[in-house]
Structure 1
């Protein structure tokens, strides 16, 4: 069975964490729009490339939620979307911060912020889905990072999963090994990334 695989990415936000005063933000829900035919991303209600406006001003022990709308258009194959964080400089700090994604109350994924990829779900055809992202800050985070702003570049990745929409699944008895092989191949595929300059500063 021939499986088409590709991967594309687009920077969508800067995530500022810890001890930054909360501000008033627009109430419109941030929206990521993916066109499967054009292989492009569009953004709505996202200003200054900041996807996670609610995940700000966090203190040790906080658990904060943010809703994101994901719209897909003209998908010819089932497609999974992922978030990928570039946080090598802050990996030691962020490794214990848990990042989870839920859709209709069902958990899609959960991992540390420093994890390579965070799954947002699998999508078909033309759809509009709201997901809830939760960030949990451990109580063990200390005052050594007080008044610091940590900005992390996030990339959204679209991965075609290989099954044509409206086609009946073919049972081969090797579903798990095939899925594992696909994952490895896709992670090795070429990526197009548009990246903004990383910032990390200390407020006086």
Structure 2
């Protein structure tokens, strides 16, 4: 008869451990919340100049079209020379996105580019993941001026706390239940 009772207790003890393990497993998985914070941080700007560019291929058209014509036979040579000696400065943002910002600036005079420079400001994406415990246990002990002593404990679920305390003045005994809220 004793072996039957022992098997009975062992069987329920094993079932209790399995159920307790599963409950603890699922509570443990739900104890951590994550918060994601994404920031875009500007890096240090890089500025530099390219050397003067030299063409790798020069082509002259066989039948040129002159831009400055007053009639079909007369070409204004002074206007062509004026256009040739005019210095043109260009500045443009090529892209400004999540990767950064690229600005270029260059000059053209005498049909040749010069002063070709750039400035690049990279942007880095910084992702911070905060893990916050959902269930936070605590213990408590207190003594008050009415000679009551209490010992207890509880847990916080997010910001809401539940507490159970054993209260005694060594003559009377009782249980205290409380709710708490974290700000």
- TM-score if structure 1 supplies the norm length? 0.19
Which structure is richer in relative contact order (CA contacts within 8 A, separation 6 or more)?
A: 1
Which one has the bigger strand percentage? Answer: 2
Which one has the bigger helix percentage? Answer: 2
- TM-score if structure 2 supplies the norm length? 0.21
